Structure 1
Amino acid sequence: MRLYAKQHGIDLATVRGTGRDGLITRADVEALLGSAPAAAPSRPPVTGPTTTTRFVGHDLAPWSSGPEVERIPVRGVLRSMAEAMTQSAFSAPHAAVWVRLDATRTMELLAALKERPAFAGVRLSPLAIVAMAVCDAARHFPGVNSSFDAEKGEVVVRRVVNLGIAADTPRGLIVPNVKGADRLDLVGVARALNALVDTARAGTTAPNDMLGTTITITNVGPFNVDAAVPILPPGTGAIVAVGRVAPAPWVVDGEVVVRQVTELAMSFDHRQVDGALASRVLRHIADYLEDPAARLIAG
C-alpha cells in the first residue's frame, strides 16, 4: 500500500483509514485519488498557416495570406525590449545553472491552501511559491540580489527584493515588479502577482512598476516547456526560469514512483555572482519547493 500511495503522489499521513483499527486500505487511497479535482488540460492557442498570431506586439498576418516579406517598425515595447536585451547580452557576462526537482509537496500544499478562507478569491499558482522561495534565497544569500555598476566601479547589494515577473502581453514582453516582495506573506505575494499580471495583460502597467527590479522570475511552464536559459534584465544579477510541473518517474526511498517534477534554471551576471554562489542559491530554491510548508512555517 505504501508503494501504491507513493506512485500516485499520496502522503499516507493525509489518508483516513477505514479498515480494522484504522488501517489504511487501497480503497481509502483510491477514494482520495477520485476526490481530487482533475487538472484542466493546458490548451495551446489554435495556430496554423491560415490563422493570425501575435508577434512583437502586432497581429501577424497568416502564412498563407501575408506578404512574402514584412517589415515591422521597432518602437514602443519592442524597442524597449530590444535595447534592454542587447545592453544586457553585451555588457554582462552570462552564465547559468539548473536543477531538476520533486515539486509534489508544492502542488499538494497549493491544493490544500485553495480550500482555506484566507485564499478565497486569490488565484494561487506554483509561481507564488517560487516567488516566496526566491525571496527566501535572497535573504540567505544577499549577494544574488545585486547589480554591477561599471561606471562607479561598485557592486550594489540590495536588502529589499523588488521581484520582477516577465510577462507575455499583447504588446510584447515586459518585466514589471512587486516592490518589497520579501516583506509579504504568501497571501500578499499571491495577490500582488495577480494584480501585476492582470495589469500587464490589460496594457495599463505604469512605467514606475518596471523600475528598480533587483531579481527576476520568468515562468515558461504555461507554454508546456521544461526549461529556458533567460537573458538578464539590465541592472540585475540573476533571473530564475521555471518550467512546467509534470508527472515523471522519480526515485523515492529506493523505489521508482510517479512524482510532480519541474526544472529550474538561473542565469546570472558572472562579474559579481560566481558559480558557487549561484549553485547554492538555486539549490536553496529547489529545497524550498521540495518542502514548502516547513519553509513557510520557519519564515
Structure 2
Amino acid sequence: MTIREFKMPDVGEGLTEAEILKWFVQPGDTVTDGQVVCEVETAKAAVELPIPFDGVVHALLFEEGTTVDVGQVIISVQTGPSGEAAEAEVPAAEAPATATATAAAPAPAQVEEPAVAARQPVLVGYGVSQASTKRRPRKAAGDVAAQNGTAAPAVVPAQPVATVTQNGTAAAAGAARALAKPPVRKLAKDLGIDLATIVPTGDGGVVTREDVHAAAAAAIAPQVAAPVAAAPAPVQAPAEVPAQAAPAQAGRETRIPVKGVRKVTAQAMVGSAFTAPHVTEFITFDVTRTMKLVQELKEDPDLAGLRINPLLLIAKAVLVAIRRNPDVNASWDEAAQEIVLKHYVNLGIAAATPRGLIVPNIKDAHALTLRELSEALSGLVATARDGKTSPADMQNGTLTLTNVGVFGVDTGTPILNPGESAILAVGAIKLQPWVHKGKVKPRQVTTLALSFDHRLIDGELGSRFLADIAAVLEHPRRLVTWA
C-alpha cells in the first residue's frame, strides 16, 4: 500500500493560496486520474481541481472554508494493492514501537505511535498518517524539564485533572492536545477560549463549535453575576467601562474574515494605489445621439437576440479612441525599466458578483465587430455572475471599464487594475438642462472619469484620449468615420 499526496496547485498566475469551497469526495471513495475532487476559490474565480492519479481517498487534510497555501497537501490517496505492508516507510529508529503496535492491532495497516494512541479516532491533521516517515514524537513538558535539569513549572498540576464527556468517558486534561477541527480552533482563538478547558461533546471526544460558544457564554455570565453574588456591597465599576459593557458589545459588531476575492482585491488596490501615480480627469457631455442609436440598434432585425446597451457603444468608443491614441495602451515594466506598448486591447469589464468585484477582460477586443463585441460582453457578464470566470480570463488586461452609473452614481475616481495603464468610470446618464444649438433643452448627459498611470500617460495624452471618447459618444457616426 502506498499513500500519495496531492498538493494545492498554482492554478492562476502568481497564486499563493486558495480557499476550499467544496469537497466532492470523502475518505474511502475511489477516485480516478482526472476526476474532480474539490472546488477552490483562487484569486478571483472558482476552479475545480482534478486529481492526477487513481486510488482510494485516505484523508481530506482541510475542511471546507479553509484557506490553504499553494504547495500544501490537501488530500491523500491510497494506491496499489490494499494488502501490501508499509514497513518500508517506517524509519529504523521507530521500528520497535511500530512492531509492538502492529502486533496488538487487528489490522496491519492501522499502525499507531503509542504517544498519540489517545487521539483516536484520527481526525484530519491529527494522529498518524500512513505516509509519515520521519515525524518525531512530541515531548511532554516534564521530559523537557528533566533534560534541562529544572523542575516543571508550578502551573502544571502533579496529577492530570480528569474531565468527563457526555458519553461517560474520562479524559486527562492537559495529557493530550484537545481534538478540534481547524475552523473550531480559530473560533476558540478569536473568542479567547482555551480548548483544553472545554468538555467536548463531539464523537470521539472532539470539541465542536457549539462547545466553544457554550464556553464563551459561560465565561461572560460570571462576569455579570459576580459583583452581586460575591460582594456584600455593590462594586463601583470604573467610569469609562460600564459594568454591562461586555455582554452588550457582543451584538454590536460582526467580524468577517478577509479572504478570497475581498482579500485579493484589497491587496491589488493597495499595491496599485501606492505603486502607480494616479491622475484622474473628468468630462461631462451630451449623449442624446448615442442613446437614440442604442434604441435604433435594438430595433434592427440584423441584431436581433443581441444585448444592446449604452455600455456596448461606450466600449466601442474606447476602442476607437485607443486606435487614435495608441500610446495609451501600454504597461510599465519596473524590473526592465521599460514601457511596453501593446498592439492588442484586452478590454477589462468590472463585474459585481456574489463573491465580490472581479475584472475579466475581452481578449483582442480591438479586432471584434459590434456584434462580436456584444456577444463577448454578454458572455463575460453571465460567466462572472455564475462564478465560473477562469483565472486566464482575468489576466493580461490592458485597460478597464467600470460602470458605476448603473447605481445612479455620477462618477468616481477609480483605482487602476494592477498592470494596466488606465481605467474609465462611466457615470449615470440623466436627463438634464443643456445648451443645444444655442438654446437650453433637456438632453441626456453623462460624466466620464479617466484614471491613468502618470508614468505612462502624461496630461496631454490623457486629455486627448478622454476627449476622443466623448467626441465619439456625442456624435456616434464617428464610430464609422474614425474607425
Higher relative contact order (CA 8 A, sep 6+): 1
Aligned to 1:7: none
Secondary structure of the residue aligned to 1:250 is strand
Long gaps (5+) in structure 2: 1-249
Q: Provide the C-alpha distance between the structure 2 equivalents of 1:225 and 1:78, rounded to a whole number of angstroms.
A: 22
Taking structure 2 as the reference length, the TM-score comes to 0.48
Distance 1:225 1:205, change over 3 A: same
Partner of 2:397: 213
Instruction: State the alpha-carbon separation in 2 of the partners of residues 284 and 67 from structure 1.
Output: 53
Residue by residue over 1:180-233, the C-alpha shift from the partner in whole angstroms, topping out at 9 and shown as x without a partner, is: 111111111111111111111111101100001000000011101111110000
TM-score (norm 1): 0.77
Shift of 1:69: 1.6
Partner of 1:120: 304
Structure 1 unaligned segments of length 5 or more: list them: 1-65
Does residue 67 (structure 1) correspond to residue 268 (structure 2)? The answer is no
Query: Which structure has the highest helix share of the two?
Result: 1
**Rounded Cα–Cα distance in structure 2 between residues aligned with 1:293 and 1:142:** 21
Alignment-derived partner of residue 250 in structure 1: 434
User: Shift of residue 293 of structure 1?
Assistant: 2.7
Equivalent position of 1:185 in the other structure: 369
The one of 442, 452, 455 equivalent to 1:271 is 455
Runs (4+) off by over 6 Å: none
1:89 and 1:67 map into 2 onto residues whose CA distance is 35
CA contact (8 A) 1:93 1:270 kept: yes
1:78 lines up with 2:271 in the alignment: no
In structure 2, the residue matched to 1:231 is 415
Contact 1:139–1:159 (CA<8 Å) still a contact in 2?
A: no
Distance 1:72 1:272 in 2: 37
CA distance in 2, matches of 1:148, 1:295: 30
- Cα contact 1:123–1:190 (8 A) shared by 2: yes
Of the three residues 173, 197, 219, the one matched with 2:381 is 197
Aligned-residue sequence identity (percent) comes to 51
Q: Is the 8 A contact 2:320 2:482 kept in 1?
A: no
**Structure 2 CA distance for aligned equivalents of residues 156 and 254 of structure 1:** 45
Q: Whose radius of gyration is greater, 1 or 2?
A: 2
Q: Check if 1:133 corresponds to 2:133.
A: no
Q: Deviations over 1:94-133 (max 9, x none)?
A: 0111100100011000100111122211111111011111
Quote the Cα distance in structure 1 between the aligned partners of 2:414 and 2:475: 26
Distance in 1 of aligned mates of 2:428 and 2:407: 8
What is the CA-CA distance between 1:175 and the residue it aligns to? 0.3
Number of aligned positions between the proteins = 236
- Give, in angstroms, the shift of residue 294 of structure 1: 3.5
**SS of the residue aligned with 1:69?**
coil
Distance 2:353 2:302 in 1: 29
Given that residues 96 and 229 in structure 1 are in contact (C-alpha distance below 8 angstroms), is that contact kept between their aligned partners in structure 2? yes
